[in-house]
Amino acid sequence: MMRHLLILIVFALFAQGAAKAKLPIEITDETYILAALDAQVRKKHILASHYFEFLYLKTGKKEYLYSSLRMYESANDMAAFSKATEAALAQSPEDKILLRFHIIALLKEGKYSEASHKALVLSEKTKEASDYLLSGESLLKLGNYLGSYGELKKAYDITYDEETAERMALIMYTQLDQKQEAIHFLKKHIGTHGNSKILGKRLGSLYADSGALEDAAEMYETTYEFSNDPVIAQEAVKIYVYQQNRQKLKVLLEKSGVNDLLLLELYVRDKQFQKASALALKLYKSEANPLYLAQSSVFAYESAPDQKDALLLKEVVEGLKQANEQIEDPIYLNYLGYLMIEHDLNVTEGMEYVRRALVKQPDSPFYIDSLAWGYYKKGECTEALRLMKQVESMIGTDEAEVKEHIKAIEKCKTKEK
């Protein structure tokens, strides 16, 4: 924006100065270059082309002519691009850069046979990689995959370019029925010239498609380690999920951070509650979702070596209270209530949290059990026993905690009698 304003100011100053002095406007080449670059940045490619064309006519420098043609190509104005290219070739029929533009124009117009013929003639004359690539592209459009591969290989043998290597591997794998050869080719290239995001991802996909999932995951991980591209890490994650390889999945998720929710689930499944608590707290801080605060508090309690520690209980209760102000989730309401009842923090208040959970799920035997335990703690054993009999009729006494509660409450009832 600032460059655009500067150009407008420059033109205005020239115009004002010329008007006052009654002199013709003199605009330097640098001003036109700035105007062309500004138009290019603003994606006004036709305007940029006109500026470059003017500079070419003014200076005779072919760099400006080439830039003008590139702008026509970027504008996707094939009629103007083709017309300008042919006009330029009429003046310089042996200019290899203009010949390349002409072949590109033919390809974009769908004239593949003509493009292929001219690209072949040009590549045989220049022996340059860019011309072999044009010839390969033309043959590819014609469906001549073997011929296209041959032209691409000529370019590759000059430059060892990774994009050319990828295209060769794709043609081998998808069109020439040379799947293992394509994989071997990419492995050899990576071993000789080094890995890259493009080739690492492509080799991983070929491994996966061929069923070599272990090799695919290893390739994705190796590529991620130097690229730090989360998209590549996700490909390895998909494979480990499919294989149910929890150990490798967990290691990858820990170092990449591409799916913290999945990692949290793994921690919980493996009862690694200390790690689960820290990760849930991280998620809460980044997303401000109170559900993660509730989870972090629960996991902190479950992982504590001393669950009667006063400071621990204070932090857990505060975290659950803060979370339940927003989510009102029956699971965490009951957890908070039972915690307060069990540790005699405030039995009456704890029972209120359990009742709020029962409003949402009145038939939950576990919430009824928590309420019964509250009555027991308050010494109201008759009501406690009545509720526990209700729990017993719903789920039996297989649950160890339910069995313990019934045993304790029956003793309480006996004492009360």
Dihedral over Cα of 392, 395, 397, 400: its sign: negative
pLDDT tens-digit profile of 256-273?
Answer: 999 999 999 999 999 999
Residue 396 is assigned to a structural domain of this protein: yes
DSSP category for residue 295: H
pLDDT at 218: 96
What confidence score (pLDDT) does residue 413 get?
Answer: 64
Task: Establish if 84 belongs to a structural domain.
Answer: no
Q: Which of 327, 357, 379 is the last residue of a domain?
A: 327
pLDDT value at position 35?
85
List the one residue out of 141, 171, 138 whose CA is nearest residue 153: 171
**Which domain does 375 fall in, by range?**
345-417
Q: Note whether 13 and 22 are within 8 A (CB).
A: no
Tell whether 386 and 318 lie within a shared domain.
no
Q: Is 368 left (phi over 0), alpha (psi -120 to 50) or beta?
A: alpha
Residue 110 tokens read as 């769908």
Same domain, 315 and 357: no
Q: Do the domain assignments include residue 142?
A: no
Per-residue model confidence (pLDDT) at position 247: 94
DSSP type of residue 305: S
Q: CATH code at 392?
A: 1.25.40.10
- Condensed to tens digits (0 to 9), the pLDDT of residues 104-126 reads 999 999 999 999 999 999 999 99
> What pLDDT, on the 0 to 100 scale, is given for residue 28?
78
Domain membership of residue 377 (yes or no) is yes
Residues 404 and 375 in one domain: yes
315 & 264 share domain: yes
Residue 120 lies in a domain: no
Same domain, 323 and 361: no
Let me know whether 263 and 308 are in one domain.
Answer: yes
pLDDT < 50 regions, the chain: 1-25
* Same domain as 350, residue 292: no
Per the domain annotation, does 266 fall within a domain? yes
Which of 327, 353, 386 is a domain's end point? 327
pTM of full prediction above 0.75: yes
Within this chain, do residues 278 and 321 fall inside the same structural domain, yes or no? yes
91/86 Cα distance (integer angstroms): 9
In a domain, 406, yes or no: yes
pLDDT attached to residue 36: 82
In the DSSP assignment, the letter for residue 312 is H
**Total structural domains in the chain?**
2
Is 125 a domain residue?
Answer: no
- Domain boundary at 281, 298, 327, which? 327
